[in-house]
Amino acid sequence: MLKKCLFPVAGYGTRFLPATKAMPKEMLPLVNKPLVQYGVEEAIEAGLTEVGFVTGRGKRAIEDHFDTNFELEQQIAGTGKERYLDSVRKVIDSASFSYTRQGEMKGLGDAILQGQRLIGDEAFGVVLADDLCLNEELGVLGQMVQLYKQFRCSIVAVEEVPKEQIHKFGVIAGNEIKPGLYQVTDMVEKPKAEDAPSNMAIIGRYILTPDIFDLIRETPPGKNGEVQITDALLTQAKRGCVLAYRFKGRRFDCGSVDGFVEATNHVYKNIYLPGEKG
């Protein structure tokens, strides 16, 4: 069944410059844990324990994060500080990690295509770590894996967004086949509010069937000259089936400064502080 998850992390993170000049945006911490670790924990919870990163220049810190740091481990062994490494140790022990590079930043579709080397010919999850998704029960990717087992086709996570924000997202139109689940009939990348087919925006969680790779190869560059995953998904929807799932939980757009600050406050109050007290 599903066991692989791809993390496209080749982006420049320009909205966080100068912080992201020499450090990947995915390593920005929400309190004491880097964004990317939240995403990897969500993948592991969903049973996707073979984690693949599509990286670019300046992303080595991600590789180091998911590896043992012997000097540091030795230094704090047996002290009260050891517990600070508990969460990342657990992640390292629960998953395997592999890396490939996107030579040129040609869009999310292209980044996913570069990931074919790590995925092969099987269905897989995709997590954009700058979308932080939290849910008190099963995480968003876990919810999508359950649906995949039932429907066996590509699934995108969607949420309703206000009209004035719709131009920032890929937007779907679809027929609701059961509450919160839509069969996609149309998809538009970053439409103007008046052209948007609905208020249902795609967020950074996907399950993709492997035929997507050939469809991406057939997809010419779209909006902003980038190869858009939404264009390839629309072809897939027209030829077969793509589902859109209105997930349970809360999403924070940590790729923007406002969303990042909101997420930081939320995590501090609801996750970090209770953990320290417990």
To the nearest whole angstrom, how small is the minimum distance from the Cβ of residue 263 to ligand UTP? 15
Minimum gap (Å) between residue 20 Cβ and ligand UTP: 8
Supply the angle between the helices 35-45 and 140-151 in degrees, to the nearest 10.
40
Minimal distance in Å, beta carbon 10 to ligand UTP? 3
* Rounded alpha-carbon distances, angstroms, from residue 64 to 69, 126, 137: 8, 21, 30
Q: Pick between residue 53 and residue 245 the one whose CB is nearest to ligand UTP.
A: 53
Binding site for ligand UTP (CB under 6 A): 8-15, 25, 54, 102, 105-108, 110-111, 128, 130, 255
CB 40 within 8 A of CB 139: no
d(CA 152, CA 259) in angstroms, rounded, equals 33
> Measured from the CB atom, is 85 or 105 closer to ligand UTP?
105
The distance of closest approach from Cβ of residue 106 to ligand UTP in the complex, given in angstroms and rounded to an integer, is 5
Give the count of alpha carbons within 13 A of 225, CB side only. 3
Closer by beta carbon to ligand UTP, 102 or else 230: 102
What CA–CA distances, in Å, run from 94 to 53, 88, 227, 248? 16, 10, 33, 25
> E strand or H helix at 164, and its extent?
none
Q: Which is nearer to ligand UTP, 40 or 181 (CB)?
A: 40
How far is residue 275's CA from residue 33's CA, in Å, rounded to a whole number? 13
Shortest Å, Cβ 25 to ligand UTP: 6
Pick 57 or 149: Cβ nearer ligand UTP: 57
Residue nearest to ligand UTP (CB): 11
